[in-house]
Chains A and B, each alone.
Chain A
Amino acid sequence: MRILIARWMVTVAAAAALVCGSAAAQAPRAGQAAAGAAPTKPIPRTAEGKPDLTGTWQAGGVSITGEAGAPPLHPLPPTKYRAPRREPIPYQEWAAAQEKTFTVLDDPTSQCLLPGVPRIVGMPMPLEIVQTPKEVVILYESFRAYRRIPINDKLEHPDDLTPTWMGDSVGRWEGDTFVVDVTGFNDKTWLSGLGSIHTEKLHVVEHYQLNDDDTLSYTATVEDPGALTKPWVTGSVLRRPIDVRVEEYECIENNPDNEHIRKAMEKEKK
């Protein structure tokens, strides 16, 4: 049942994107607290002294491009921190033109293919960070995906990467911020909303910062000289859902959504 609800929500989110377009939220940058903040507490640390990002997290409230309609799957505690200000994706002309030609059925995720980075972070399902000294593993309920992020102080990627859906990630600590560099993408995912294509030149730099109210600020700087005119910044404030663990999600099992969407679209045309 829960899996059906989740898929329905993703469909609603995509449909809302069709109708509403992307809204730019007016908000302070990540890390700024609103006035009248709650008392702070020290952030948990590992034995190596690094902030401990381990646990189950959920992005929520608004989707990663400020679209309404991607509510989180579970209730979340409030936070004083805000996601970075969201701007429309700064597309080159050819990409902006192509973006308009897609429907929800072209979304790779409606074929149960992977959402890529940073889109997977903003999905309305929880993720779990498993932190070890040598690598950080992130388990996503969304599409049962996982990412391995080996820790490498030079942020070196292997030579000659095979283009992949989730890219090749490598991370390091910069002070108390975990910085992840992701390259080696194929060109098949969407960055966020409808038709948000990119090329294989995509390069994403993520920042994970544990806040003093036990939330996790996430920022992704997205560069693609093949499709964008300048870097694009997006992000969210991840919070710990209560009594929740990442659960199973088998997208291709009993997936009737595409048929329903096709029929709804045909009805709309009439």
Chain B
Amino acid sequence: MRRFLIGWLVAAGAIAFGQEAPEAPTLLQGGGVLNHRPTPNGPAPRARDGKPDLSGIWNPDRHFIYDISTALKPGETLPLQPWAAEATKKRMSKDDPEANCLPTGVPRLAPYPWKIVQTPTLVVFLFEGNIHSYRQIFLDGRAHPKDPDPTWYGDSIGHWEGDTLVVDSVGFNDKFWFDFAAHPHTDKLHITERYRRPDLGHLESEVTIDDPGAYTKPFTLHGQFPLQTDTEIMEYVCNENNQDVTHIVGKDNRK
């Protein structure tokens, strides 16, 4: 909310002084929801161990905010089981755990920048939004725990396949929603994410969701996250003065 407000104020100020208004925040088609400087060009940087360095501040892809069905390939639909399709329709936004300051889980994003910090044995995702939390992806060769505690972000282990970081996650609880549209899942959820940085300014993901409890077959989502160069992630304390949740009515159906 704050970033949009600031953008409006800056635009208003610029118009008052006869200058061209800076670009208002737009909901970009191919990923990225935030006002930012032009994406820089150049080759993807490499980490000291020779792997592509995914470190950086990334725009959230709108398809992982509002409705994950828009992240499928064109023509595909979400293979929802009947109970899951019903649940999606019935859920109201006021009950969205995210509106109540609980985590978004995986792969959902909040409309705020997020940051990757990469070391050879650990990759960390720091979220400005998403209740200002983090994910850990262990690259040290460990296996999943035999009986993981069900958690909001699951247990994530990763490895490199060439220039692609492959992340395998299990051990999710069934409480988060995949998006504003309220697509559900169960604790059978198993997610495989593949991240590539084809050049300096772009991060791409392919997220395969396999949940035999809610979907009739696995499906793959595609994400694009332009680099954000003109800012750093800020603090965000969702449960401080949270006015929104008592005002929410109905369902957010934006795509």
Contact = CB atoms under 8 A, between A and B. Distances in A.
B15 interface: no
Contacts of A253: 102
Interface of B is mostly: loop
A112 B239 contact: yes
A250 B119 contact: no
Nearest to B123: A130
Interface in A214-258: 245-248, 250, 252-253
A166 interface: yes
B237 A165 contact: yes
B134 interface: yes
A246 B136 contact: yes
Given A165-B235, A247-B149, A250-B103, A54 B126 contact: no
Interface in A128-180: 128, 130-132, 135, 137, 139, 144-146, 148, 162, 164-166
A92 interface: no
Contacts of A114: 237
Given A47-B48, A112-B239, A162-B234, A137 B101 contact: no
A252 B101 contact: yes
Contacts of B122: 130
Interface residues of B, number: 28
Interface in B106-155: 115, 117, 119, 122, 124, 126, 131-134, 136, 149, 151-153
A145 B134 CA distance: 8
Contacts of B131: 144
Interface string B46-76: 0010000001000000000000000000000
Contacts of B230: none
B239 A111 contact: yes
Contacts of A113: 237, 239-240
Contacts of A130: 117, 119, 122, 124
Interface of B: 48, 55, 100-103, 115, 117, 119, 122, 124, 126, 131-134, 136, 149, 151-153, 232-235, 237, 239-240
Interface of A: 2, 47, 54, 111-114, 128, 130-132, 135, 137, 139, 144-146, 148, 162, 164-166, 245-248, 250, 252-253
Given A114-B237, A132-B119, 8 more contacts: A113-B239, A130-B117, A131-B119, A132-B117, A139-B124, A144-B134, A165-B235, A253-B102
